[in-house]
């Protein structure tokens, strides 16, 4: 995973929450655009940041080579399925 790919995901407008899958099998969710920041060789991800303050429960620093893939999360999206007739 590259810094550019992560920046593109973080700056998607409108923002789409995503899950980071690490090579270790661990996952980290990024639920808001202000919850993650790119660094030179790694990604800084805040755990459970509050949207109305500058507080977070903690943070993870993830080296780019340790990121296996990203998965978009369907938060706030309607599940695909049959629509009711109008």
Per-residue pLDDT at 45? 94
User: How is residue 67 written in tokens?
Assistant: 């990121």
Read off the CATH number of the domain in which 33 is found.
2.30.30.100
Give a yes or no: residue 80 inside a domain: no
Identify the bridge partners of residue 69 per DSSP, sorted by sequence position.
21
Please give the Cα distance from 71 to 86 (Å, whole number).
Answer: 33
Range of the domain at 19: 3-72
Say if CB 15 and CB 33 are below 8 A apart. yes
Residue 13 maps to a domain: yes
What's the rounded Cα separation, in Å, for the pair 16 and 38?
17
pLDDT tens digits, the chain, 86 residues: what are they?
Answer: 888 999 999 999 999 999 999 999 999 999 888 899 999 999 999 988 766 777 788 999 999 999 999 999 987 665 565 666 66
Give a yes or no: residue 79 inside a domain.
Answer: no
Q: Answer whether residue 81 is part of any domain.
A: no
What is the model's pTM?
A: 0.78
């Amino acid at each position: 995973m590259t810094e550019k790919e992560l920046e593109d995901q973080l700056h998607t407008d409108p923002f789409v929450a995503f899950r980071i899958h690490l090579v270790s099998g661990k996952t980290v969710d990024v639920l808001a655009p202000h919850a993650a920041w790119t660094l030179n060789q790694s990604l800084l991800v805040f755990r459970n940041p509050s949207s109305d303050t500058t507080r977070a429960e903690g943070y993870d620093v993830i080296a780019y080579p340790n990121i296996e893939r990203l998965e978009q999360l369907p938060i706030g999206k309607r599940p695909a399925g049959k629509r009711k007739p109008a």
